[in-house]
């Protein structure tokens, strides 16, 4: 069945990069028919791969792709979002779609204004583990999004991981700083731990395996236990032991304050991106 013959609700992805591809794959795997999905993507190689791998209809022009679609998912870079939206403003005013954005630093008000106003908008901040179905997405809906719209977006993002609704959009920059950028903080810690392990004389392959499995195991304990992080930390920190020696070194180096400063800096950068793209 082609998308032109499909009679049910249609979702169009404007942009066919990694995050869009992940969401499309998740939707297909959960039973969404390929005919219900379209993708507008200017890069021929990405467009062809999506059509080949998932059987979805692909377009090089977003104006053609959005025709008749009820949900528009904007998966383009923040720097081009305004131009993409303004190019679709006439169609948006006529269709009144549910607009979903996964672009960092673009506010719901900006998206609505660029689309011509009076548009239901959900702003999303996923993180890269969403590509593995292990992510978390912060969500903010403007006043025009009804309960069924919220449910639709949750269903759209279900394959990417868990979702968290944020009532105050001003806090979305903090979501970006904590979870959107957060995987990089873990990667940096793993990178530093690997380097330290090698400095202690461990072979490269052993250092990598020890660090990666430790990060994975700790993450599972955090997510699969009802205990808060401080309690889990206390349980593995024996008085006078090796863990206590390491933790005291972290604390003496201002580890907690450094994390606060880093997240504050990332939050502020999110606000700057919103202003820069207005």
Give the residue extent of every domain in the chain.
Answer: 11-175, 182-274
Spatial CA neighbour of 11 closest among 156, 161, 157: 156
Predicted pLDDT of residue 8: 59
Query: What is the DSSP code (8-state) at residue 78?
Result: H
Q: How far apart are CA 92 and CA 72, in angstroms?
A: 9
Predicted pLDDT of residue 276: 78
Q: How far apart are CA 216 and CA 202, in angstroms?
A: 20
- pTM of the predicted protein model: 0.89
CATH topology of domain 182-274: ProC C-terminal domain-like fold (1.10.3730)
Q: How far apart are CA 96 and CA 71, in angstroms?
A: 9
- The pLDDT tens digits along the chain (278 residues) read 455 555 557 999 999 999 999 999 999 988 999 999 999 999 999 999 999 999 999 999 999 999 999 999 999 998 899 999 999 999 999 999 999 999 888 999 999 999 999 999 999 999 999 989 899 999 999 999 999 999 999 999 998 999 999 999 999 999 999 999 999 999 999 999 999 999 999 999 999 999 999 999 999 999 999 999 999 999 999 999 999 999 999 999 999 999 999 999 999 998 887 777 77
3-state secondary structure (DSSP) of residue 118: coil
How many CB atoms neighbour CB 30 within 10 A? 10
User: Which CATH number does 11-175 carry?
Assistant: 3.40.50.720
6-46 pLDDT tens trace: 555 799 999 999 999 999 999 998 899 999 999 999 999 99
């Amino acid at each position: 069945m082609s998308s032109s013959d499909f009679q049910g609700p249609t979702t169009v992805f404007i942009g066919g990069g990694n995050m869009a591809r992940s969401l499309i794959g998740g939707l297909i795997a959960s039973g969404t028919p390929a005919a219900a999905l379209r993708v507008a993507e200017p890069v021929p190689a990405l467009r062809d791969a999506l059509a080949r791998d998932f059987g979805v209809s692909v377009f090089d022009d977003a104006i053609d792709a959005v025709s008749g679609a009820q949900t528009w998912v904007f998966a383009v870079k923040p720097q081009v979002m305004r131009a993409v939206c303004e190019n679709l403003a006439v169609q948006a005013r006529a269709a009144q779609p549910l607009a979903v954005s996964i672009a960092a630093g673009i506010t719901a008000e900006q998206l609505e204004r660029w689309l011509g106003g009076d548009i239901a908008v959900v702003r999303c901040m996923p993180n890269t583990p969403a590509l593995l179905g292990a992510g978390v997405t912060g969500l903010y809906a403007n006043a025009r999004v009804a309960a069924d719209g919220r449910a639709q977006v949750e269903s759209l993002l279900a394959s990417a991981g868990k979702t968290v609704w944020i009532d105050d959009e001003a806090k979305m920059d903090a979501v970006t700083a904590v979870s959107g950028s957060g995987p990089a903080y873990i990667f940096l810690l793993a990178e530093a731990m690997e380097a330290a392990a090698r400095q202690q004389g461990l072979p490269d392959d052993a250092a990598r395996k020890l660090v990666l499995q430790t990060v994975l195991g700790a993450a599972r304990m955090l997510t699969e236990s009802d205990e808060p992080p401080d309690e889990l930390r206390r349980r593995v920190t024996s008085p006078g032991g090796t863990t206590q020696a390491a933790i005291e070194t972290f604390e003496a180096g201002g580890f907690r304050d450094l994390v606060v400063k880093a997240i504050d800096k990332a939050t502020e950068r999110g606000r700057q991106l919103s202003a820069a793209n207005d």
